[in-house]
């Protein structure tokens, strides 16, 4: 649970914009150079020299104004009570509430507007700013490679590590591959580029060559063989697969669409795995799961999930019977005999 002695972000801590998504902006903490000894160079390797201990190795996540409008207190409560007990601490991108100093969000929004004028902010994010009514930020585990020469970060979405429970028994595609091929067909009709990716069933295969095959489409991968060795029968990946199997209230069956069971089941199928790989092969690799805010069926999302499943079934995308579905990355299509197909 959230600690009773709530952390407070010290005034004067400098922030640098790092990245953003549709609902949050991520900032890196920067040391106050006035506090650092003159013989300390504030290079990335020691840039947090003068930061308070609780901020070291952390990033700051700030919430945008969105239609969902879920306060960070609720997000952390769900994370602490529902998500955290399912994993070990070193398997999670941790998140902790921290109270923000007055005026910080306004200053950050001013920076975002300035960045728009300077073309330093992605255009698709223009006009969307931080929620001024949110008194908290989230401290999250820093999984970037700043200050770690030669290290790199690979990341992937290990969605649907088991087949959808409502997929046809004659399916030639797993849920992820069926959806990708449907979207690629739509892209082709619009003259857009098709997307290639791995089959998630390969990630949990008992055959090393299938895992190696999947690494060819993993973002940030610089050494396929090494990454495959890391992922092969990886305990965190297998734990996630087991949880997805037990939390199977998805597809067209199960509890009401707005239930907590459906929310958890979909959350476990839409998280991100971050793999920080050091240059030294003898050094430990960090593997953590992030993007584990509990999904909500509100705003039509629950209906969308069900409608999408119905479309995949009724239009034959699972069976691979549509035009353009000849070849596939899917493990079910290639029918490799040692592939795990458990649902």
pLDDT score, position 64: 97
Number of Cβ within 10 Å of residue 135's Cβ equals: 14
CB 195, CB 329: distance < 8 Å = no
Which residues on neighbouring strands pair with residue 140, listed in sequence order? 59, 95
Q: Give the residue carrying structure tokens 């959808």.
A: 164
- CA dist 330 and 82 (Å) reads 32
pLDDT score, position 338: 42
- CA dist 107 and 12 (Å) reads 12
- CA dist 55 and 10 (Å) reads 10
pLDDT score, position 339: 42
pLDDT score, position 44: 39
- CA dist 64 and 290 (Å) reads 18
pLDDT score, position 1: 46
pLDDT score, position 252: 73
- CA dist 140 and 63 (Å) reads 13
pLDDT score, position 206: 97
Q: Burial, 168: exposed, middle or buried (Cβ in 10 Å; 0-12, 13-18, 19+)? A: middle
pLDDT score, position 4: 54
Q: What predicted TM-score, i.e. pTM, was given to this entire model?
A: 0.87
pLDDT score, position 232: 98
Averaged pLDDT in 10-residue chunks for the chain of 343 residues: 71 91 94 43 42 90 93 96 97 97 96 95 96 97 94 97 94 95 92 92 97 96 97 98 89 66 89 97 96 79 84 94 81 60 37
- CA dist 166 and 310 (Å) reads 9
- CA dist 331 and 201 (Å) reads 6
Main-chain phi, psi angles of 26, to 5 degrees: -110, 135
DSSP helix, strand, coil percent of the chain (3-state; round to 5): 35, 15, 50
Number of Cβ within 10 Å of residue 269's Cβ equals: 24
Main-chain phi, psi angles of 38, to 5 degrees: -65, -25
Which residues are CB-neighbours of 110 under 8 A, at least 6 positions away? none
- CA dist 223 and 153 (Å) reads 11
User: What SS3 state is found at 298?
Assistant: helix
User: What SS3 state is found at 26?
Assistant: strand
Q: Alpha helix locations (H) across the chain?
A: 72-78, 104-117, 175-189, 200-203, 208-215, 224-231, 235-246, 260-268, 301-314, 331-334
Domains of the chain plus CATH, in order, are 7-141 (3.30.200.110), 152-334 (no CATH)
């Amino acid at each position: 649970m959230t600690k009773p002695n709530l952390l407070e972000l010290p005034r004067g801590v400098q922030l640098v914009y790092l990245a953003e998504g549709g609902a949050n902006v991520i900032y890196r903490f920067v040391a106050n150079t006035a506090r650092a000894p003159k013989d300390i160079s504030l290079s990335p390797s020691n840039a947090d020299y003068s930061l308070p201990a609780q901020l070291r190795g952390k990033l700051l996540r700030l919430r945008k104004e969105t239609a969902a409008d879920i306060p960070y207190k609720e997000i952390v409560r769900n994370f602490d009570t529902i998500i955290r007990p399912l994993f070990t601490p070193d398997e999670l991108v941790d998140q902790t509430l921290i109270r923000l100093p007055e005026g910080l969000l306004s200053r950050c929004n001013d920076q975002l507007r300035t960045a728009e004028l300077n073309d330093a902010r992605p255009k698709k994010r223009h006009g969307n700013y931080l929620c001024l009514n949110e008194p908290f930020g989230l401290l999250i585990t820093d999984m970037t490679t700043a200050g770690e020469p030669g290290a790199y970060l690979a990341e992937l979405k290990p969605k649907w590590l088991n087949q959808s429970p409502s997929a046809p028994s004659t399916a030639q595609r797993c849920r992820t591959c069926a959806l990708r091929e449907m979207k690629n067909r739509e892209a082709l009709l619009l003259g857009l580029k098709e997307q290639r990716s791995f089959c998630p069933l390969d990630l949990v295969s008992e055959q090393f060559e299938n895992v190696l095959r999947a690494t060819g489409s993993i973002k940030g991968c610089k050494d396929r063989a090494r990454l495959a060795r890391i992922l092969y029968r990886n305990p965190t990946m297998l734990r996630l697969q087991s949880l997805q199997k037990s939390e199977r209230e998805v597809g067209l069956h199960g509890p009401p669409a707005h239930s907590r069971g459906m929310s958890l089941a979909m959350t476990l199928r839409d998280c991100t795995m971050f793999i920080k790989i050091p240059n030294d092969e003898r050094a430990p690799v960090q593997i953590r799961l992030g993007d584990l805010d509990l999904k909500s069926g509100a705003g039509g999302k629950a209906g969308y999930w069900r409608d999408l499943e119905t479309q995949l079934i009724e239009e034959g995308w699972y069976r691979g019977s549509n035009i353009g579905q000849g070849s596939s990355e899917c493990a079910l299509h290639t029918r490799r005999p040692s592939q795990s197909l458990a649902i």
